[in-house]
Structure 1
Amino acid sequence: MPEIITGKNLSEGIGFGSVIISEQAEINISDEKIESSQIKNEIKSFKDSIQKAHIQLRKLRDNVGEHLDEDSAAIFDAHIMMLDDPGFNKLIVEHIENLQKAEFAIKLAGEEYVSQFETLSSDYMRARALDIKDVSQRLIANIQGIELTDFQNTDEPVIVVAEELTPSASAQLDTKYVNGIITAKGGSTSHAAIIARSLNIPLVSEIDNILEKVTPGDNLIVDGFSGDVILQPTEVEMAAYSEKEKMKKERQNELKEWIGQETKTIDGIKINLFANIKGPEDVNDFLNNDAEGVGLYRTEFLYMNRMNLPSEEEQFQAYKTVLEAAKDKPVIIRTLDIGGDKELSYLNLPKESNPFLGERSIRFLLKNEELFRTQLRALVRASQHGNLKVMFPMITTLDEFNRAKALLIEEKERFEAEIKEKLEEISTGIMVETPSAAIISDQLAKYADFFSIGSNDLIQYTMAADRLNSQVSDLYQPYHPSVLNLINKVIDSGQKNNKWVGICGEMACDEKSIALLIGFGIDELSVTSKKVLQTRDYVSKIKKTDMEHLAEAALQVDSGEDVVYLIEEYLNLT
């Protein structure tokens, strides 16, 4: 009988093939001490390895950039930066000077860096520990003359199974034969997931002991839509999944008909449909899926996956690239949002017992003014190249917003004095993600140009339930009356002050939520690029006046469960 095991779907699609186990090359490292007379030679071996790794990684980066996308290629930029990191190199040399062989010194330094990343609460930053392991292994292999080949040659469809895939191994994936990937470890921000999505290879992760459950040569089906993995499928199941894959592809082709169309309800109400991005690497997805603007540019990704702060020039070039690509479409750039589950290890910030309620986002920026001003200067300079709107995260008081806006105005006036030219005004908005901001939204709307509701955090803070904590996941309720009343209040405050209101986060993508939000009068939805056409199609089947009745009724019920039942009844989803 076939067995079905379920993991986390990280890249969509359906793949068929026989199992191939991906294992790291066996590298034996001696911890035997060296003589002091050997130190010079060991340091030379280490530096020679660095030079060789530079050549290897640049070649790998060029190959990935040619065949995939810039997002995938940028993975290896971070590896190259790691090779040149002064702290990492100094630590290795210090271990060698303490009479360790070069290979063992690299191993020790790598482990020290890895331990720092693996203790961070952010999934994204923990995933970067694998980068350090990958670079360290490459340096050691270079010294020992070992070729880091990860996949054996194959001429038939295969499913790659691994504990976790390093970036170097992921870059070797051959779409001609690799039809799917299953890993025990790895999140949506892992490099394996990024590359798999670029290659359209289905990937399912977080399956414990997967290497014990399969044998090389076993037949598998990987369902990257549901996260299911079918071991030893029957011919009937193979046929059923083939049909499922065919239907998914047909649906994707149907959605392409919405390219170039406006996003309107049945009764002609226009909804602005924007996309969330994390940098220039997402521009192609944003354009190819016909988003009407960028609703959320997450600038924290410019600061992450590196060993130091990005310069003003580096930030300017990133913002300029997106603005020019968007042409006259609005681009909402959120200033740096760190803290909570997003940490920057190189800042060595003090540990907080409750970082989600600590010095994060705008609080951090206002206390680190020079860092904030650097970003604001880059934004002001970039504003000449497109339709820029600046948004400040986690505002809780009017004073925070006014202080942040004042700094932006100061940097704008300073730049205007330098170039002796007057720039257009820059729209400034507030990301409403705290109950405090929602409650005083009528006051904030007099000063802000727009609102964008950050639904994930707003739910989390309203319900006092960490959305990443499985122990209280039952309290993370998007449809709870308290959450809906706050969202309704924010939209109402915007409308009364002639300010548009958008929303990002999971609620912007969920069909039940979208129905309610349109009923409340939302002006803009910001979703992932890949969900733009699907959302446009869904909105076209909704009648605004009907949703207004639904929204009014939803505000009268007593529980989130009742709201869901009400929505399903209205939409005939039951």
Structure 2
Amino acid sequence: MEQASKTITGIGVSPGIAIGKAYLLERGRIPIPYYTLLGAEAVSDEVKRFEDAVNKAEQDLELLKAKVHPDLKEHANVLEVHQMILRDHLLYDETLRLIQTDKLNAHWALIRALMKAQEVFSTVEDEYIQSRVADVHAVGERILRNLSGKEHDALNAIKERVIIVAHDLSPADAAQLQLERTLGLVTDMGGRTSHTSIIARSLGIPAVVGAEVASKQVQMGDIVIVDGTSGNIIINPSEEEISYYYERQDQLETYLKEIRRKSHLPARTEDGFLIKVEANIELLEEVVAVKDNGAEGIGLYRTEFFFMNRTDLPDEEALYNEYRELSELMAPHQVTIRTLDLGAEKLTSWFPKLEETNPALGLRSIRLCLQYRDLFETQIRAILRASAVARNFKLMFPLVSGIGELHEVLGMVRKVQEQLRRQRIPFDDRMPLGVMIEVPSAVAVADLLAKEVDFFSIGTNDLIQYSLAIDRVNEHVAYLYEPLHPGVLRFIKQAVDAGHKAKIPVSICGEMAGEPLYVPILLGLNLDSLSMNPQAVPRVKNLICRSRLKSCRRFVKKILGFRTAREINELLQEMMLKNFPEEFRVFDPSDLIPKGVAHIRRR
């Protein structure tokens, strides 16, 4: 009797369909002995054992860097980051302290240090920052395996083309993939900004992350279908399902090739209006994907990564070199660079730890930069210096809540500009300065903010959360996270109208911008540019080119009178199905519904 297929769902992070045998990446449990050390000699021996394990990890990472696949060379910096984390005080110094002071054995001391590091990261709600926890855990596991004498590199055992299924893939794992033998990727852990997701997207490997139970449900050698668009994983599919997905695979590849061929053309609506389509990135390595997918610039460059994965604060020269390279790589296209958007709990490596009961409403983003002005001035100096390279930078400030805050920030920029003038260091004195509209107070005073800056960028991820008082990573209330909530749409319209009245451009750089379903609404709200994950650019551009702006405006005028997200969603799906039937035919209607509104359709 044929075994029934089973479907599990995760987060589709790299579009495409993979069909093949599963390779279950199992490393086995690491035994963690726990005992206390008796006598100074035992402590000294345990310290040496730990240091030997760290030294071996350093050597292993150096060897791995030399073996990285040519197509993954640009991602080898992840291995360098791991080498730095090995000596980070949160991991290295804390483990040594626990061995020497608390007399714990090396295994248990390292576990305790990892748990403490986890606590530091756990208070952050930002998905990108949370995904950096994987770096620390991967380094910790590498040391633990050395302490236990366990092998690391199960990926080397792959001898045929497979779909890799794992509880998690560390950044080091992702950088070691045998690309010619990797059909697709599935992990229990991870999000859209994890290293696995970034690498899968840049290489065009279908991938689903955050599947939670995949590594427990899938057995070695099972036939698996991975739909990197919808996030569906089908285990031991029937012949009919295999046939259906092979057909979908052909349709999808043909469709994507067709729209990618046109993705380098301007996004011009059928009635002649140009909409700029840009990309959101956080790593220099993603510039390749930006250009390959036809993005017309970078609408959001996140600067946190360079601060997050270091054992000390980066100096001005290191930041300058990073930003200079970005400017050169993207010239003549524009780059909108966002200043540091971290919470205080993420700077405990360098600053005194703060006790905050609600970090999301605490010292973060621009507030943190105004608190630690030396840090902020260093970043501003680096950005201003790099702005002279190709004069293609725009600078924006996150989480600005009002005019007083903005005046402080602009005062600091003017101060740094004056310093550079006195030192005869060149910079672009016409570099546009803007703010992110992310909190309700910023929307309320958008007319005042617009008179002080050169552009707005609407960050919908935070705007939705703060407007609806919803934590979208909280499973108990995540279903209330509604991008189509009438209040959210009215906030966006109010910000756009205020910007345009002051004759400044308004863009959107949150996840809404990259969802094909929302294209008619964003066009109808009169946004000047949309910025998104690079891989979303071809689909969004294609839909813009096949839309009529005047029709979208009429549609938005109508839905702004609706009372619920459900009403708006139903009419939007009906309109999309009528105007873009091939999108539904290729991707399936359910695939076009973002996670945040999927529950509406099921009711």
* Alignment-derived partner of residue 359 in structure 1: 363
For the 8 Å contact 2:158–2:181, the answer to whether it is kept is yes
The answer for the alignment partner of 2:242 in structure 1 is 238
My pick for the range that moved more, 14-23 or 246-255, is: 14-23
Shift of 1:408: 0.7
Equivalence for 1:397: 402
Shift of 1:338: 2.0
**Is this contact kept in 2: 1:65–1:73, CA < 8 A?**
no
Tell me the equivalent position of 1:427: 432
- Rate the CA distance shift 1:123–1:222 in 2: closer, same or farther, 3 A: same
Contact 1:64–1:73 (CA under 8 A) maintained in structure 2: yes
Q: Secondary structure at the residue paired with 2:246?
A: helix
Percent identity reads 35
User: Aligned pair in 2 of structure 1 residues 110, 473: CA closer, same or farther (>3 Å)?
Assistant: closer
Deviations 1:432-487 (A, max 9, x none): 12222222222222111111111222222222323333433344333333222222
Whether the aligned pair in 1 keeps the contact of 2:282 and 2:305 (CA below 8 Å) is yes
Structure-2 separation of matches of 1:207 and 1:424: 48
Aligned to 1:558: 563
Provide the TM-score with structure 1 as the length reference. Answer: 0.90
Structure-1 separation of matches of 2:575 and 2:113: 60
Instruction: Give the Cα–Cα distance (whole angstroms) in 2 for the partners of residues 420 and 102 of structure 1.
Output: 50
1:461 paired with 2:474, answer: no
Aligned pairs for 1:213-252 within 5 A: 213-252=217-256
Q: CA deviation at 1:284?
A: 1.2
Match of residue 193 from structure 1: 197
- Quick one: which of 45, 49, 54 aligns to 1:50? 54
| Residue number among 326, 339, 343 corresponding to 2:343 in the alignment | 339
- Give the distance between the partners of 1:161 and 1:378, measured in 2 at CA: 41
Larger mean CA deviation between 54-63 and 282-291 belongs to 54-63
The residue that corresponds to 2:185 in the other structure is 181
Output aligned runs, 1:412-491, within 5 Å: 412-419=417-424, 423-491=428-496
Counterpart-to-counterpart distance in 2, 1:422 and 1:113? 39
Whether the 8 Å contact between 2:512 and 2:518 is mirrored in structure 1 is: yes
Write out aligned runs for 1:64-463 (5 A). 64=68, 66-70=70-74, 72-86=75-89, 88-97=91-100, 102=106, 105-118=109-122, 120-142=124-146, 145-151=149-155, 153-339=157-343, 343-346=346-349, 347-386=351-390, 387-419=392-424, 423-463=428-468
SS in 1 for 2:400: coil
Deviations 1:314-340 (A, max 9, x none): 221221111111112221111111239
Match of 1:503 among 508, 524, 535: 508
CA distance in structure 1 between the aligned counterparts of 2:190 and 2:419, rounded to whole angstroms: 45
Q: Distance in 2 between matches of 1:141 and 1:563?
A: 53
Secondary structure at 1:526 match in 2 = strand
Q: Is the 8 A contact 2:120 2:346 kept in 1?
A: no
**Aligned pairs, number:** 572
Contact 2:385 2:426 in 1 (8 A): no
Distance 1:561 1:140 in 2: 50
Match of 1:543 in 2: 548
Q: Distance in 1 between matches of 2:126 and 2:493?
A: 31
Equivalent residue for 2:27? 24
Q: Could you tell me which residue of structure 2 aligns to residue 5 of structure 1?
A: 8
Segments of structure 2 that go 5 or more residues without pairing to the other structure are 582-603
Shift of 1:235: 2.3
Match of 2:588 in 1: none
Counterparts of 1:290 and 1:232, CA distance in 2: 37
Residues 223-250 of structure 1 show CA distances to partners (whole Å, capped at 9, x for unaligned) of 2222222222222222221121122211
Distance in 2, Cα, partners of 1:182 & 1:570: 33
Post-superposition Cα deviations, 1:347-384, rounded to whole Å, max 9, x if no partner, equal 45424333333232222222222221111111111111
Answer yes or no: is the 8 Å Cα contact 2:279–2:532 preserved in 1: yes
Deviations 1:166-200 (A, max 9, x none): 34444443233332333333333333334444444
Q: Once the two structures are superposed, what CA deviation does each residue of 1:253-276 show, in whole Å capped at 9, x if it has no partner? A: 112222431111111111111111
Distance in structure 2 (CA, Å) of the matches to 1:236 and 1:190:
34
Q: Deviation of residue 512 (structure 1)?
A: 4.4
Cα 1:155–1:139 change in 2 (3 A) is closer
Output the CA distance in 2 between the equivalents of 1:520 and 1:318. Answer: 35
CA–CA distance in structure 2, aligned partners of residues 26 and 453 of structure 1: 45
Tell me, yes or no, if the aligned pair for 2:401 and 2:441 is still in contact at 8 Å. yes
Alignment partners' CA distance in 2, 1:466 and 1:95: 35
Q: TM-score, normalised by structure 2?
A: 0.86
SS of 1:15's equivalent in the other structure is: strand
Cα 1:413–1:30 shift into 2, 3 Å: same
1:67 Cα deviation (Å)?
3.1
Alignment check: 8 A CA contact 1:25 1:150 kept:
no
8 Å Cα contact 1:62-1:73 kept in structure 2: no
What 5-or-longer segments of structure 1 have no aligned partner? none
1:493 aligns with 2:535: no
Q: Secondary structure at 2:336's aligned position in 1?
A: strand
Residue identity in the other structure for 2:419: R
Query: 2:16·2:253 contact (CA, 8 Å) conserved in 1?
Result: no
Q: 1:549 to 1:53 in 2, by over 3 A?
A: same
Shift of 1:145: 4.9
Q: CA contact under 8 A between 1:122 and 1:343: conserved in structure 2?
A: no
Q: Using the alignment, how far apart are the partners of 1:250 and 1:432 within structure 2?
A: 38
